[in-house]
Amino acid sequence: MTNTIGELENDAKAIFIIGTNTTENHPVIGYKIKQNVRRNGAKLIVADPRRIELAEMADVYMQFVPGTDVALMNSMMNVILNEDLLDKEFIANRTEGFEDFKAILEKYTPEAMEKVTGVPAEDVRKAARIYAESEAAAICYAMGLTQHSTGTDNVKTACNLALMTGNLGRPGTGVNPLRGQNNVQGACDMGGLPNVYTAYQNVTVEANQEKFEKAWGVKLSNKVGLTLTEAIGKAHHGELKALYVLGENPMMSDPDLQHVEEALENLEFLVVQDIFLTETAQKADVVFPGVTFAEKDGTFSNTERRVQRVRRAINPIEGARCDWQIICDLSTSMGYAMSYDSPEEIFEEIRSLTPSYAGITYDRIDVTGIHWPCPTVEHPGTPILHREKFNRGLGLFHVVEYKEAAELPDEEYPLILSTGRSLFHYHTGTMTRRSSGLDAHKPHNELEINPIDAEKLNIMDNEMVKVVTRRGSIDIKAKISDILEPGVIFTTFHFAEAAANRLTNADSLDPVAKIPEYKVCAARVEKIS
């Protein structure tokens, strides 16, 4: 997030929610948005193909066709331009590329886009006015915006919207991705990515390579590595021979599980380190037992870049080892001695190599976390980014045209399938399916389907049905629900016995981010008996 969670409760005068079912996936942030609307009268704009809980209290709700995010936001910007609701001073002083960008907006009139997005022109106008006229307007998004073959375009378009209205660098504004996992921010910050060391220091920059070579005492590669989705593809082709999976479950989380399964089986050697014998661990050649967050010390970095402490509450269960310890042990076994007395000692090494974390110490975050960047121990941290200038200096407008999703419905597969999450489960269900209360309350996967589609197919509520895509099929309980428009179906990916990713598409990736298009693929529903 460019801004903080607290600002969504206290400072934002308008909040534009697109592609985040906040009350289910980030419930505590959802409470704050609701309170801001109810207590302070903040305006709420919701754009989502499903009429999610927040849509019920929105000033404007735009139920758009999955995959038409760019068309929808460009049409909002067409209104902002034509009604002269721009922040001209901000555009002049803080941005570049506006003229080129402006030129493409002309054709995105709300009327023209109505046929693409399905959103009435008047609603787009209303949403554009609320967002642009508010003193401080925040955009919040999550995987609903990013998990598309146009995911990067979608995010750039959201940035254009914020840039053209000056909604950056001030309290209550910002472009705010709500990140789905406890330490997904930290995993990125720590260089758990194929192109960067810690703090996004590029592996292809010689100075960075030298810095880490010196610190680690070995020669390093300057060749950008494989992303997760690419690695699975290479394994499938036989080019990748070994894979070490730490606390991940690609046999549930990755697109097209048939493809993933074949890829993993094609490996010469698979190591999995986890707390349970996950669907992925069942395929491993070696399994290392790690521990839960309750059994170790360390830090997590949340979605607002706040680095916070994780504390050991109990000893590791008999036989398991802390994950950091296992990596050290394996590294030492391979002839590169790694030895740390504690996670704090590791953190000290991180600080020495990571400019944005350099000023953060365990002592300083003992009670309350610190937002990076925090370059020195005197620095208070940075809750709001881009106050004076952007990382690159001026904010760049990107010219982004609407592109259709990669796999659209046709006669054989007439429905759009979107996948996501439930309030009661988390990611691949490794933890929540083994939490007694959560699994008792929500033991089955469900397929949300509009009553009109259900009637056409002669399907009753709670009936087991078959969902079929070009990748495969699953049997699943139908839940008839009018929160979806006809032609769109939705399910979650938490359940191994009805695994949504048997259906999803591994071939339609965003060309830059390599994120799979989980929000749009073509599907059909069949009656079983």
> Which residues, 142 to 161, sit near other proteins by CB under 8 A?
146-147
Neighbours of 204 (CB within 10 A): 12
Q: Which two tokens stand for residue 22?
A: 């906040």
And the tokens for 162?
């914020």
The residue written with tokens 């495969």 in the block is: 472
For residue 179, how far is the Cα from the chain centroid? 5
CB of 512 to other proteins, least distance (A): 11
Residue with smaller CB distance to other proteins, 75 or 505: 505
Q: Which residues pair with 95 in a beta bridge?
A: 395
State the SS3 of 337-355: CCCCCCHHHHHHHHHHHCH
Candidates 49, 67, 409, 516; binder of other proteins (CB under 8 A) is: 516
* Choice between 207 and 334, CB closer to other proteins: 334
Residue 19 or residue 516: which is nearer to other proteins going by CB? 516
Q: Is the Cβ–Cβ distance between 474 and 257 less than 8 Å?
A: no
Three-state secondary-structure class, residue 232? helix
Binds other proteins by CB under 8 A, chosen from 112, 121, 220, 457: 220
Size of the site for other proteins (CB under 8 A): 148
Q: Does the footprint of other proteins cover residue 350 (CB under 8 A)?
A: yes
The contact mask relative to other proteins for 102-121 (x = CB under 8 A, - = no) is --------------------
Examine residue 346 and tell whether it contacts other proteins (CB under 8 A): yes
Residue linked to tokens 């760019």: 70
- In the region spanning residues 182 to 211, those forming contacts with other proteins, defined by CB under 8 A, are 182-195, 197-198, 203
Site for other proteins in 33-72 (CB under 8 A): 34-35, 38
Strand partners, 390: 393
Nearer to other proteins, 100 or 349 (CB): 349
Torsion on CA atoms 333, 337, 339, 344, rounded to nearest 10: -120
DSSP for 310-337, written as a single string? E---SPPPTT---HHHHHHHHHHHTT--
CA distance to 131, 197, 331, 355, 356, per residue, from 209 (Å): 43, 9, 20, 15, 18
User: CB 274 → other proteins: shortest distance, Å?
Assistant: 7
Site for other proteins in 244-303 (CB under 8 A): 244-248, 250, 253-254, 268-269, 271, 274-277, 281-282, 284-290, 292-303
Cα(23)–Cα(159) distance, integer angstroms? 23
Q: Considering the rule CB under 8 A, would residue 343 count as an interface residue with other proteins?
A: yes
User: In terms of CB distance, is 327 or 522 closer to other proteins?
Assistant: 327
Task: State the minimum distance, in angstroms, from the CB of residue 218 to other proteins.
Answer: 5
221 part of the interface to other proteins, by CB under 8 A: yes
The CB-of-528 to other proteins minimum distance in angstroms stands at 27
438 binds other proteins (CB under 8 A): yes
Burial class, 187, CB count within 10 angstroms (exposed 0-12 / middle 13-18 / buried 19+): middle
CA distance 351 to 349: 5
Q: Which is nearer to other proteins, 68 or 147 (CB)?
A: 147
Please pick, from the candidates 43, 148, 170, 179, the single residue that binds other proteins as defined by CB under 8 A: 179
Instruction: Tell whether residue 513 is a contact of other proteins (CB under 8 A).
Output: yes
Identify whether the C-beta of residue 180 lies closer than 8 Å to the C-beta of residue 187.
Answer: no
Q: How far is CA 275 from CA 107, 168, 431, 495, in A?
A: 53, 41, 9, 18
Smallest separation, CB 323 to other proteins (Å):
5
Task: Output the six-digit token pair for 77.
Answer: 């910007």
Minimum gap (Å) between residue 83 Cβ and other proteins: 33
58-66, 68-76, 312-320, 397-405 -> range binding other proteins (CB under 8 A): 312-320
In whole angstroms, give the CA distance from residue 265 to residue 253. 17
What phi, psi does 399 have (nearest 5°)? -85, 110
Minimum CB distance to other proteins, residue 129 (Å): 26
Q: Single out the residue of 398, 403, 477, 514 in contact with other proteins (rule: CB under 8 A).
A: 514
Check residue 512 for interaction with other proteins (CB under 8 A): no
Query: Any contact of residue 310 with other proteins (CB under 8 A)?
Result: yes
Query: In the complex with other proteins, which residue's Cβ is closer, 113 or 257?
Result: 257
- The whole-angstrom separation of Cα 110 and Cα 74 is 9
Query: By CB under 8 A, is residue 82 in contact with other proteins?
Result: no
Footprint (CB under 8 A) of other proteins, residues 2-21: 5-6
> 50 phi and psi, to 5 degrees?
-105, 140
Find the binder of other proteins among 432, 466, 472, 477 (CB under 8 A).
432
Least Cβ distance, residue 276 to other proteins (angstroms): 5
Q: Please, what is the minimum distance in Å from the beta carbon of residue 314 to other proteins?
A: 5
Pairing relation of β-strands 446-449 and 488-492?
antiparallel
Site for other proteins in 314-333 (CB under 8 A): 314-315, 317-321, 323-324, 327-331, 333
Does residue 407 bind other proteins (CB under 8 A)? no
Q: Is residue 459 part of the contact set for other proteins (CB under 8 A)?
A: no
Q: What is the CA radius of gyration of the chain?
A: 24
Distance CA 347, CA 368 (A): 17
Asked whether position 334 contacts other proteins by CB under 8 A, the answer is: yes
Regarding 223 and contact with other proteins (CB under 8 A), the answer is yes
Looking at the DSSP bridge assignments, the partners of residue 16 are 45, 139
